[in-house]
Structure 1
Amino acid sequence: MTRGKIQIKRIENKTNRQVTYSKRRNGLFKKAKELTVLCDAKISIIMISSTFKLHEFITPNTTTKQMYDSYQQMLGIDIWSSHYAKMQEDLCRLKEGNRMLQKEIRRRMGYCMEDMNLEELVILQQDIEDSVTRVRERKYKLLANQIETTKKKVRNGEGIHRSLLQAFDALGEDPHYGLVEYDHMLGLRSRVHGLHLIPNEPNAPSGPGSCLTTYTYLE
């Protein structure tokens, strides 16, 4: 029983459409390969599916560029010249844009203003004033942040100072206390290297009646 003739129209079912595309693509590539071997022909096939997937077949030992070059020779056209011309147009447009930007920069620096009219000068002045305003606002913001940071450091230093005074008061008047190290105080890298107690009189006896002087060294 022979198979009925299939009507050539778009397959509405997406799954059936993809299956048909895959089967017929493989069959087409198979026929192209056979034609290449049997007839020594150069064949190039480029296929793009409805899901934008690229599939291609080209005769072995042949590149796509060689096929395009042969195509141009056979038809007597040059498809690369139009592409090169478009690239040249893009390059000229980019160069012109770069030239205008450099000219604008020189004008903002006070140069190349001989060909400017009054309206252009007014616009340039306004642009420069706006730029100066933004720079000044940024500067003041940075200064405010630095001032606030400095105030915090001062407050932390005052806290360390108060803590040190409290620690010194807690030590009492012990003349045999030779070295005290403090490696903390609010997480800062402040250090008291030594606390040296010296009697006022060279031969004064040690004890509760001694008059002591303290010397502190901060790093």
Structure 2
Amino acid sequence: MVRGKTQMRRIENNTSRQVTFSKRRNGLLKKAFELSVLCDAEVALIIFSPRGKLFEFASSSMQQTIERYRRHTKDNETNKPIEQNLQHLKTESANMLKTLEDLEISRRKLLGENLGSCTLEELQEIEQQLQKSVSIIRARKTQIFRDQIEQLKEKEKALAAENEKLCEKCGTKSWKRLSEQEDNVPYDESSPSSDVETELFIGLPEGRTRRIVQLN
């Protein structure tokens, strides 16, 4: 009589479940022993019954096998983050390389290179970007000029103040005060400095007479 295939589900009958546990436990222990002998493998088997009873088999020493298992698991846990980090770095490197390639293509297009494959929309977008960049550059240039002018004005004021101090120490008037005084002096026609002598030539070039006329 051919035995049917057993369904993998919990046996509801307590007696049948206990009988099945005893049979399969003994078979599992036997297979573990055969595996250790035939293949020279280090085998450790631990079984707890439904009532909490312990059954175990170890080809050498259960404690040594457990310690070996812990060391192996610890090494795997240590190596696993390293592998994950390496994979993450590879992914980041690939993304950065792709970004650099895209930036290089964009840079060449802004320089007017490799425009043959661009559509009309892409060309319009590049044109708008260039116009925006030019506006920003001009605004910055104007601001720099204004800052330089303000610095020169401040420097001029500082030099003028320093000149005033030096003139006060030397007992002379500064060029600024002299200029203001000259502008405020009225013109005096009777002043000797108003007399101007001019040379007046009369006649043809061969026989012209030289006369000195004094203007008062």
TM class, shorter-length: 0.3 to 0.5
- The structure with the largest alpha-carbon Rg is 2
Report the TM-score, using the length of structure 2 for normalisation.
0.42
Tell me the TM-score normalized by structure 1: 0.42
Please identify which structure carries the higher helix content.
2
